[in-house]
Structures are given as structure tokens and as C-alpha cells.
Amino acid sequence: MRLFYAIFPPRQIQEALAEVQARVRGFKGWKLSPPHQLHLTLLFLGEQPQARLPEFRRVGQAVAAGVPAFEIELGGTGYFPPTGSPRVWFVKASGAGLEPLSQGFQQALSDIPAKAFSPHLTLARKKGPAPRIGPVVLQLKFEAKAVCLVESKLERSGSQYRVLQEFPLG
């Protein structure tokens, strides 16, 4: 199973982000993230045996319970990598609980290799030649109330996500 912990924005934020995504819709080289799948990854677990699911559920509940609900602000857009030909177009995210959640998951699951945490939502991935889009400043806010354990299946049409469990924040 390919798993990760994430926060999903509410529908009205997804709809606002879909309007921003329309800026690259005319370029074949950009593949948009489906608005209902836009999320903020807290820790990518990668391929894991199903036998570890109970452990991931316990960790999800414990870490989420230790962080109170908080506000997430979506600021400006950016690219990964920041120079040269970009592969990912994203919107930056900030919020008081993001680092404690990410660090909590990394500490509880220290056997999982973790990358440096850079809070963002991926708006589109570059699949071929396509221009950079100028910066967009969003200033969108929403309250994070829960963390999700998500299964990702790679399909021909792209990744499909299924929320396995939602853990309310403390």
C-alpha cells in the first residue's frame, strides 16, 4: 500500500484553487491535480505492508490529538525546482500546526525516510514543454481540523486517493 498523512482543504478552497489552475489549462505540458485531491502532505510513507496499518492508525490518532486545530494560509505560488525547468507548480502553505504535525509523524515513524518539510499544495505537474506561469498571490485561509491517512494508487489516469481514516486535531 502506498500511504501518506495529509490535510485536505474544504471544498470552497478547492474550488478557489481550481480557478487558479485554469491559468495553465491551455498548456498541454501541465497536468492539473484534480481539485478534490488537492492536499498538503505531512509525511509520505511510501509503499508499506498492510500489516502496518494498525500502527499508522495509532500514530495518526496520537499525533493529531497533540496538536490543536489551527488556521492554514495559502500564499503565493512557486515551482519545484525553483530554477531551471520546473516539474511542479504549487501554492505555499503556512500555519502554526504544520511543523508540529510533520515533526510528530517523523519522530513517531523514525524508520520512514523523511524529506525536508516544505508545506505546499501541488497545483500541477509538468509533463512536457510548457511555460512558467507568473506568480499568483492567493491569501486564502481555512481551519485545519483533522489529518487523514491516505492510500494512493497509481492508475493510468494518475494517482487516485482514498482516505482510510480521519484523525481530529486535539
Catalytic residue numbers? 39, 120
Which residues are within 8 A (CB) of 96 and not within 5 positions of it... i.e. 6 or more apart? 70, 71
Contact 161, 79 (CB under 8 A): no
Strands 120-126 and 88-94: antiparallel
Instruction: Report residue 160 as a C-alpha cell.
Output: 487516485
| Cα four-point dihedral sign 14, 18, 19, 20 | positive
How many CA atoms does the CB half-sphere of 72 hold within 13 Å?
27
